[in-house]
A and B are shown apart, each in its own frame.
Chain A
Amino acid sequence: MTSKPFSRRSFLSNTARATGGVITLGVLSRTGAIDAQETPPFEYTWQNLDARQGRTVDALTRMIMPSDDNDPGAAEARVIVYIDRALGSHRAEYKESYVSGLAAFDRYCQLSHEAGFLDLDTRNQRRALMGIDRARSPRNWPDDAPMGARDFLRMLVTHTMEGMFSDPSYGGNYRETGWKLIRFPGRAAFGYDPPFSEFDMTIPEIEYPEWKPYDGPMKSRIVGEA
């Protein structure tokens, strides 16, 4: 675990406070439906990403699934915790892609926007992300990067959605934030009884004719019977 110097601006824009390998993540000053009681800042020790990588991924997930005044997003679902933990377990095969992809992305930001991603303001961070969401890698994406720009973004998006909507035991979807967001009540241990919606409640069942045994010649053949 390493910690790298970072600017005050990135501190503010990412609402993440790092001390050594421990980071405090959370929503520090937001208004609206999510109150600080529900998602208090929490201390988190990086397990697989270093602090700069972690803060960059955290910021990216917040742009992929943004929070707003009404609804929580990746921040409240603690998607970053999911990704950092996953890179040491069921997504360990992507660890190298994160390291090299983040380095390439930072280089791209330097060349295109004259600062590393964490040092950009929110508007330019969003422009940087839009800049790599295209079929062919943009001009400033490093030629020697092992993965293309869009593949890098796809990987981040896929893992962000996993962190939003997977079982909370994997570290994301904190307190089922993601599931509540889409009104999925969670895995139901005892299932459901109908009606399931207004549709199956109100659309009448078709009246089928009563079944009568086939009255044509039954020609069923049974092996071993004459």
Chain B
Amino acid sequence: MSLPNPTIRRPDVIVIGTGAAGAVMAKELSTKGLQVVAMEMGSFQKTRHFDQDELQAMHPASNNHDHPNIYRHDQPNTYRQSSDDQAVEDHGIHMQSTVGGSTLHYTGISWRLHENDFKERSLFGDLDGADVQDWPIDYWDLEHYYEKAEYEVGISGLAGANPFDPPRRRPYPMPPVPRTSSGALADMAAQKLGWHSYPAPLAINSREYGGRPPVMNCGFCESYVCTIGARSSMLVTMIPQALRTGNCQIRADACVREIVVDEDGRAEGVIYLDKDLREHRLEARAVIVCCNGVHTPRLLLMSKSNLFPDGLANSSGKVGRHLMFNYYQSARGFYEKDLNEYKGVMDSRIIQDFYDPDPDKYGFFGGGVLEPRGDGETISFANLNMPRLRRWGARRKKWIMDNYTRYMVALTSMQSMSQESNMIDLDPDVNDKWGLPVPRVTYNVHPNEHKLGDFFRDRARELLDTAGAHGIVASPNFVPHGDAHLMGTCRMGNDPATSVVNKFNQAHDVDNLFIVDGSSFVTSGKSNPTLTIQALAFRCADYIVTQMARLNIR
């Protein structure tokens, strides 16, 4: 059955971006009867256009970045460590720009932030060199919307299994997916260590749900688009629901280059470029920006006008500031028997025993999680950098043969500190294929991140060792140039002088402009921001509908 995609010439709202936030907004608002045009800079693919070809997905040709299977290098950026440096071209920012966004290929881990995540400044105090603040909302503002996201998007998991989980009113709509070998080893190790391993809440079906089939445990999960639609990506959940209302048009291959304002400073609409770089103008009663932590501030900074000479909604000067990733460290353990991690989802267990340890006791601020995992990639495995092992020759060959089925990774993901100096702005020299300035990333770690890294690397080793690994290789600390978790760059707050949006994701400066995605985050959480992005979007949609009904937004 083909879905309608009507041409809507004068929408009520324009949603820019069709990922975790934009697709939820499009579905919610079109379901409430508003006319919606959702803009996507990339193409509109079907799941059947993707496949699990490692070469194409992970090792693409540099001149073939438009292929839908490739997400890593799709949108170029530049990087510098500090504002004194000259930025150089880089591909550290991971985002998929096709309809559905990065939900097409994400691991799908979907937990709720904890109550403490919203008030770390109050609970744990300040940290030198960082700008840690409380959120203007708390867990109870999102609880209902987390539940809504879990049921509407489709999350599998086991309520009550994680003793550190925040309170919830309903269990998950589906039981967990099958445990992988790395999950089983994590269970064993955690029990010996007195930790609490629990089934990862995943945006992956464990049974038929929403007309979609259960997981097939194919082993090519993260970084690959699920070809059967078992992953609850936006492309197979919110997008078709939005289109079925008949009130939503997806306008793909349409790159918004500016949000335009009228003489009163209200958002009037957008100017966008089509595939052939022809310019179009589209107007609406409200504009919602959902391009995540890098491309949202970039678009606002490109939207300069007499009223907003420093970029739209940027009277605070904070648009693009406070860029956060989730810092991570990992260790790889090798075992005597097969794990066969080419079978199963990427990550079936999570451990949150060190989610927010006492800073006075541990000597660092914030915390993190352990996410034991593995995958089926063969080329990447063969090319792994291993100490004291040449990349070629008989010994390398034997090592690949002996170990491809016998390893797991203990990934640890942790908090990044909010720092005003970490930011996105417009690169003065480099343009993208649309002729628009690429985002320039300025990013350095806070020393606290490397303290976290040392602590969590040791926990990762401990996990693998307790599970019986005969060899463990761990990564050193590093300065990330980018990530897939992109947060903080239009942060939420009550004070218009220090934040960009209010607690309903409405721009302080422009009342019919909404910004909903990772950029709203005040703190980074420990990992896996997507469910929180979706909950913020469901909540913001409710707010827009009530405001429009009260004629606060005309």
Contacts and interface: CB of A to CB of B under 8 A. Distances in A.
A8 B473 CA distance: 46
Nearest to B215: A191
Given A190-B216, A218-B169, A197 B61 contact: no
Given A221-B140, A221-B141, A223-B542, A182 B219 contact: no
Given A187-B52, A220-B144, A200 B180 contact: yes
Contact of B168 (A129, A160, A210, A214): A214
B474 interface: no
A156 B182 CA distance: 33
A1 interface: no
A71 B216 CA distance: 31
Contacts of A182: 378, 400-401, 404-405
Contact of B539 (A184, A188, A214, A223): A223
Interface stretch (B7-15, B266-274, B338-346, B425-433): B338-346
A127 B187 CA distance: 48
Interface in B368-392: 376, 378-379, 382-383, 390-392
A183 B404 contact: yes
A162 B379 contact: yes
A107 B402 CA distance: 37
A154 interface: yes
A126 B344 CA distance: 40
Contacts, number: 182
Interface in A151-208: 153-154, 157-158, 160-162, 164-167, 170, 178-179, 181-185, 187-188, 190-194, 196-200, 203, 205-206, 208
A73 B168 CA distance: 55
A162 B55 CA distance: 7
Given A179-B378, A200-B179, A223-B542, A188 B61 contact: no
B132 to A, nearest CB: 24
A208 B382 contact: no
Contacts of B359: none
B218 interface: yes
B297 interface: no
Contacts of A153: 392
Contact of A167 (B53, B144, B171, B219): B53
A194 B179 contact: yes
B219 A192 contact: yes
Interface stretch (A34-42, A60-68, A111-119): A60-68
B61 A203 contact: no
A203 B187 contact: yes
A157 B542 CA distance: 55
A91 interface: yes
Given A188-B219, A196-B217, A220 B143 contact: yes
A205 B199 CA distance: 10
Contact of A68 (B56, B60, B64, B394): B394
A71 B402 CA distance: 12
A75 B93 CA distance: 38
B54 interface: yes
Contact of B543 (A158, A178, A223): A223
B503 to A, nearest CB: 10
Interface string A54-98: 000000000111101001010000000000000001111100000
Contacts of B378: 165, 178-179, 182, 184
A213 interface: yes
Q: Is the interface of B mostly helix, strand, loop or mixed?
A: loop
Contacts of A133: 390, 392
Contacts of A5: none
B198 interface: yes
A142 B276 CA distance: 46
Interface string B181-220: 1011101101100000110000000000000000111111
Residue of B54, B184, B197, B339 contacting most chain A CB atoms (<10 Å)? B184
A32 interface: no
A154 B167 CA distance: 52
A161 B383 contact: yes
Contacts of B143: 218-220
Contacts of B130: none
Interface in A116-165: 129, 133, 153-154, 157-158, 160-162, 164-165
A196 B181 contact: yes
B169 A213 contact: yes
A181 B382 CA distance: 12
Contact of B392 (A68, A160, A187): A160
A166 B217 contact: no
B61 A90 contact: yes
Given A63-B393, A158-B383, A192-B343, 9 more contacts: A71-B401, A89-B61, A161-B383, A167-B53, A182-B378, A198-B337, A200-B178, A206-B187, A209-B160
Interface of B: 52-56, 59-64, 140-141, 143-144, 158-161, 167-171, 178-181, 183-185, 187-188, 190-191, 197-198, 215-220, 337-344, 376, 378-379, 382-383, 390-394, 396-397, 400-401, 404-405, 504, 539, 542-543, 545-546
10 contacts: A66-B394, A157-B383, A157-B392, A166-B379, A194-B344, A203-B185, A208-B158, A209-B160, A211-B160, A211-B161
Interface of A: 63-66, 68, 71, 73, 89-93, 129, 133, 153-154, 157-158, 160-162, 164-167, 170, 178-179, 181-185, 187-188, 190-194, 196-200, 203, 205-206, 208-214, 216, 218-224
